[in-house]
């Protein structure tokens, strides 16, 4: 009898303990899951079944109430977990995208002032480091066209987070590199992450932010593109002067971690969809073709390969690109739509833009190198001087609509492409005691003219593109932009290297005369873009001419988006690493 009572008491204790544990676990699940306030209040006294002596008993277990946090990720709705409506995604998601773009913009602009310091650690000539710059831009150019397909196929949230992680791994690998091949491979990995991070981030923005708040969101996202070129060069110079160049890449880590955490908490899940069939053969042909041609150009005259090796690389790249031309005509959805070339305004502005950006890409790398190698400026001083180009670009922005309204697109492009090219020529043709002042004047002039040129060019590029082809057009143009910047870096550094080997050398480095001749050649090549722009019709883009008193054109919903984003992105063009406009997924949704 006594043992039976003890067993009954023991059973009751175990039942009460089980009920208490069940209530506590339920409270934890409600707290972590982000239950709504009503749900929490109703569950403060949760009925739990306990079994004692073979009978069911109802035990009332109080669950502590926790006030909802604005960062609660999910709230139960029915049988599914949905994003918590208390989180203001329209404010936080743009901040997240701005952080990732800022990480890429700063990383793109700080490296130009650090090249001599990196070269000393690797035991190579500073001009040899241009291969790391071109590798980054080549990686961007190769993978930008497929970013939209990847986001649609695997989901924008997943691709965005993986892209941030890849960019972070590439940044850490750059900081830990001890040889030039390691550094080049790490920069290629960074380019892969950057090619997906920025365009897919904009796609996340378009999908998450309501239309009525899109203007504020775009204004926030545009800030890194404006601020990055201003703080990047002096920040890089400061880090190299007072610390070590490896911290240039390690500063990406905290920004990337914040982006990963906020992305996991705030971006709604999307599982992706069945996208169009991927043109894998076309992607391989273009990737191999562009890589071989660019590295053949980069290795020419450097001693890495015999002369016939560089020629063979360029010829092989041309062969693969020729095979792609044949393949694209037989494929329903090619990775690069060659039918866009049949649109006159698109073809001529892309060709003219290629030649113009060759000069800008070369200037971005050669100017800091000239200041440090030929004239002995510190990295910090070179970075402060380099900021003048971004200041000139920002200062001229308010005048762009008035200039286009006065002259029209064709005259604006012809005049400013010619002036932009010729403004590069005087750089280096001055007395040593006037170098800082003369360099600032030239960079400000190129910044002003470049801002007008690129804004006008970005608007006209998409003026006649049909909305169904807008996504392909942005991918095509973005790839050409990155290739043109990479070509400018490769050609400019090759000219200086060849001149150094034939006698323009002082103390084992390139003499000022080598840079002066290189700037003259690059400036004339850039000014030759006037031939392409001059062939445009006189009334090209007439329906897109800005109206007075802010009246927008009624004919161009798709191109207005292109013009807005082009205005934001062209401020970054003084950096050869800058991601000009790889936002095809976002434009696909607008179109």
167 pLDDT band (50/70/90 cuts)?
very high
SS3 readout for 71-137: CCCEEEECCEEEECCCCCHHHHHHHHHHHHHHHHHHHHHHHHHCHHHHHHHHCCCHHHHHHHHHHHH
Q: State residue 44's pLDDT score.
A: 40
CATH number at residue 412: 1.20.1250.20
Output the CA angle 159-162-167, nearest 5 degrees.
120
Number of folded domains that form the chain: 3
Q: What is the DSSP letter of 396?
A: T
Higher pLDDT, 25 or 236: 236
Phi, psi of 526 (to 5 degrees): -65, -40
Q: State residue 185's pLDDT score.
A: 92
Give the domain extent around 199: 88-279
Shared domain check, 350 and 267: no
Does position 12 have pLDDT exceeding 50, yes or no?
A: yes
Interatomic CA distance for residues 169 and 466, integer angstroms: 39
Shared domain check, 392 and 269: no
Shared domain check, 151 and 10: no
Inter-residue contact 324 to 286 (CB < 8 Å): yes
Write down the mean pLDDT value for the chain: 73
Phi, psi of 59 (to 5 degrees): -110, 125
In a domain, residue 327? The reply is no
Tens-place pLDDT, residues 78-122: 333 344 444 566 667 777 777 787 777 777 778 888 888 898 888
Shared domain check, 161 and 70: no
Shared domain check, 432 and 379: yes
Interatomic CA distance for residues 46 and 60, integer angstroms: 6
Q: State residue 9's pLDDT score.
A: 52
| Four-CA torsion 62, 68, 71, 73, nearest 10 degrees | 60
Shared domain check, 133 and 77: no
In a domain, residue 295? The reply is no
- The encoded tokens of residue 237 equal 């110079």
235 pLDDT band (50/70/90 cuts)?
confident
In a domain, residue 104? The reply is yes
3-state secondary structure of 509: strand
Q: Is 504 left (phi over 0), alpha (psi -120 to 50) or beta?
A: beta
Does position 51 have pLDDT exceeding 80, yes or no?
A: no
Instruction: End-to-end CA distance of the chain: give it in Å, rounded.
Output: 83
Q: What is the pTM of this model?
A: 0.73
In a domain, residue 301? The reply is no
Q: State residue 189's pLDDT score.
A: 92
DSSP β-bridge partners for residue 121: none
Interatomic CA distance for residues 355 and 341, integer angstroms: 17
Does position 173 have pLDDT exceeding 90, yes or no?
A: yes
* Residues 6 or more apart in contact with residue 21 via CB below 8 angstroms: none
DSSP string, 214-264: HHHHHHHHHHHHHHHHHHHHHHHHHHHHHS-TTHHHHTHHHHHHHHHHHHH
CA 418 to chain CA centroid, Å, is 28
- The encoded tokens of residue 332 equal 């329903």
Shared domain check, 244 and 224: yes
Tens-place pLDDT, residues 298-315: 777 666 777 778 888 889
Shared domain check, 405 and 533: yes
In a domain, residue 376? The reply is yes
Shared domain check, 126 and 195: yes
3-state secondary structure of 36: coil
Shared domain check, 245 and 152: yes
Does position 169 have pLDDT exceeding 90, yes or no?
A: yes
Tens-place pLDDT, residues 198-217: 777 777 777 777 766 766 67
Shared domain check, 489 and 381: yes
Inter-residue contact 467 to 591 (CB < 8 Å): yes
Does position 178 have pLDDT exceeding 50, yes or no?
A: yes
In a domain, residue 313? The reply is no
Q: State residue 477's pLDDT score.
A: 82
């Amino acid at each position: 009898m006594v043992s039976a009572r003890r067993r009954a008491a023991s059973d009751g204790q175990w039942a009460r303990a089980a009920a208490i544990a069940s209530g506590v676990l339920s409270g934890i699940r409600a707290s972590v899951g982000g239950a709504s306030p009503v749900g929490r209040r109703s569950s403060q006294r949760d009925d739990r079944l306990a079994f004692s002596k073979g009978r069911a008993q109802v035990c009332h277990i109080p669950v502590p109430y926790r006030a909802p946090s604005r960062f609660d990720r999910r709230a139960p709705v029915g049988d599914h977990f949905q994003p918590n409506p208390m989180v203001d995604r329209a404010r936080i998601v743009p901040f997240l995208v701005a952080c990732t773009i800022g990480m890429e913009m700063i990383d793109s602009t700080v490296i130009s002032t650090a090249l001599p310091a990196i070269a000393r650690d690797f035991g190579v000539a500073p001009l040899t480091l241009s291969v790391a710059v071109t590798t980054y831009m080549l990686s961007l150019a190769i993978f930008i066209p497929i970013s939209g397909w990847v986001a649609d196929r695997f989901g924008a949230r997943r691709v965005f987070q993986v892209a941030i992680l890849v960019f972070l791994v590439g940044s850490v690998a750059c900081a830990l590199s001890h040889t030039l091949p390691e550094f080049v491979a790490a920069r290629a990995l960074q380019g892969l992450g950057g090619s997906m991070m920025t365009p897919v981030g904009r796609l996340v923005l378009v999908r998450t932010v309501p239309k009525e708040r899109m203007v504020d969101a775009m204004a926030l996202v545009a800030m890194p593109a404006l601020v990055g070129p201003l703080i990047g060069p002096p920040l890089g110079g400061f880090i190299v002067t007072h610390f070590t160049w490896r911290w240039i890449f390690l500063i990406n880590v905290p920004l990337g971690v914040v982006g990963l955490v906020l992305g996991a908490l705030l971006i709604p899940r999307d599982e992706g969809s069945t996208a169009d069939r991927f043109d894998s053969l076309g992607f391989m042909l273009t990737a191999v073709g562009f890589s071989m041609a660019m590295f053949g150009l980069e290795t020419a005259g450097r001693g890495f390969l015999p002369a016939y090796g560089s020629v063979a690389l360029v010829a092989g790249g041309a062969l693969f690109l020729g095979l792609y031309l044949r393949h694209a005509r037989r494929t329903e959805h090619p990775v690069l739509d060659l039918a866009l070339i049949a649109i006159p305004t698109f073809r001529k502005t892309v060709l003219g833009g290629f030649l113009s950006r060759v000069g800008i890409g070369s200037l971005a790398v050669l100017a800091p190198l000239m200041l440090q190698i030929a004239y002995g400026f510190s990295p910090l001083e070179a970075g402060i001087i380099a900021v003048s180009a971004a200041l000139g670009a920002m200062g001229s922005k308010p005048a762009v609509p008035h200039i286009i309204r006065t002259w029209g697109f064709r005259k604006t492009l012809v005049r400013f492409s010619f002036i932009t090219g010729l403004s590069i020529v005087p750089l280096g043709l001055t007395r040593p005691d006037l170098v800082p002042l003369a360099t600032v004047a030239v960079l400000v002039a190129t910044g002003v003219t470049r801002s007008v040129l690129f804004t006008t060019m970005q608007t006209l590029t998409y003026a006649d593109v049909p909305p169904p082809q807008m996504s392909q057009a942005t991918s095509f143009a973005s790839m050409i932009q990155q290739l043109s910047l990479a070509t400018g870096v490769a050609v400019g550094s090759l000219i200086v290297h060849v001149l150094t080997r034939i006698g323009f050398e002082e103390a084992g480095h390139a003499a000022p005369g080598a840079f002066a001749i290189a700037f003259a050649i690059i400036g004339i090549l850039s000014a030759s873009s006037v031939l392409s722009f001059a062939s445009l019709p006189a009334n090209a883009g007439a329906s897109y001419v800005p109206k007075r008193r802010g009246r927008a054109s009624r004919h161009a919903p798709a191109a207005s988006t292109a013009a807005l984003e082009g205005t934001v992105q062209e401020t970054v063009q003084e950096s050869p690493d800058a991601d000009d406009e790889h936002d095809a997924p976002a434009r696909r949704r607008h179109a």
